[in-house]
Chains A and B, each alone.
Chain A
Amino acid sequence: MAYTPQDYKSELKPIWCPGCGDYGVVQAIYRALATIGRPPHEIAFVSGIGCSSRIPGYTTAYGFNSVHGRALPIAQGIKIARPELLVLVAGGDGDGFSIGGGHVAHAIRRNVDLTYIVMDNQVYGLTKGQLSPTSPRGFRTVSSPEGSLEDPVNPLMYVLGYGGRFVAQGTPADLSGLTQLVVEGLRYPGFAFINVQSPCVTYGSPDAQLKAHKSSMKNLASLGHDEGNRLRAMELAAEYGRSLYTGIFYRDPEPPPAYEALVAERRRALTDPGASRERVLEKFALR
């Protein structure tokens, strides 16, 4: 059965502001899911808290709009418990790299087959405009009226640095490019990370983040970037905040088995068809 993007669109109306980049992201996700073609009930879509974390509710998948920063552990539990599901995770830069930053490194090294989409808008929108972990130094917000005194987190370097095996960046300004990245991420058999430059029209600086770059946006494929070259990927990723590269920075040409595949293998090896749960207690009998 063929699916259309419409099949993944729920009845809920997004709460996002007009012009928000996240509208483009959810469109890209509908299209990518239609390309992949899995029925909605076989998809789990997990998020944390934030404007962008509302996104699972706008799809017809099984959604889980959880608590701030904790989407990744929940998503890993789902995928390990039911490896046959397609599991997406999404959230904002604050969710992923501030309050939930500690989980990212472990999701990478555990390598559960998830596609993690971060809508990076460089500001906290839902709480009305405070600094976020990717806010540029000097950025003035209600919580930093004199300007931020901190360097931003570089999400691309962060994930590459921890050994991420699929690292990409897109923007809703290039919807077909972003759709393709989501498709590639979903197809990658392991932890896939997609940073989306999705500016906030209300509290962010969309001009600085995207519009000014739009003309100079550089597509990695058209630059002839070798996506199997991790070191080159890191050089390009280091440009985060200065140059806007889109496309796949790094994709492991030889992906190792994902975590849940290893779990399944161990289960196959260790599951004892004769083992009865009722008899577990008998271990305690004195022999």
Chain B
Amino acid sequence: MKTTEYYKVAEHVFSVSAESFFDNYKPFLTEKVSKPLFSLEIFNESFSANFTEEISQEEEGQRIVCGHTEEGKSVFEFWLENKKAGVLISQSDFQNNVLYVEKGFEKFSTDNALMIVFALSTASKSTLLFHSSVIAYGGKGYMFLGKSGTGKSTHSRLWLQNVLGARLLNDDNPVVRIFSEEIKVFGSPWSGKTNCYKNEELPLGGIVLLSQAKYNKISELKGIQAYAALIPSISGKRWDKVLADNLHKSETVIIEKIKMWHLECLPDNNAAILCKNTISCN
């Protein structure tokens, strides 16, 4: 039998109706509200959507095919290692969403669908879903950015091993929300391969772009370079003009208000110590 649960992530409430639920959402359970930001209904059945493909994006064996139906609904097809995992169909405003899940891909499809709908429906509310690993230290959150495989998670591990009092807030998909008085980073139900689903928030203390090098060196990132570091780390359909405008607005606030650095580094203890000494003193 289907039941409905309500979750609160970065102070946005959404609902999910399904036959079963996953543990990574439990810390985010909240009371029922009359008007959630969006709702997702999950069907455990196969479905072939008839749609026009706009773009297909592939990363690490996962593929998302985006498109739209004739009536203007958005379609997202999820594939994992060349097997179809599910189809998300959304109204143009992303308020009501339906997900059809293939057997064996329940969690994969649910996580992907909720991340997409969350990112797209909160973009207009000064909220950004990042691809980042986040360390909590000294009452602030520090985000590490970088392409897949750069070593974001590795760098976080090095903080945990070398910096007293450092904790992992999220290892893959934290949420940043801009409030009038401050910018906060929130844990989320999505954390990649790491079991770290913390319902916690911290003021955002800084952002560090990582790249691999044969040495450790840190320098401040400003202006366009800072902007260029943010863009590939934030989820969103940038080919949708309204969404792109909203993301751009939030990105310019972040580069104005948050200190950003570029850390060229080795995967060693000194990288974490150099990083910590530089960014937590600012």
A and B: interacting chains: no
Residues of B within 8 A of A (CB): none
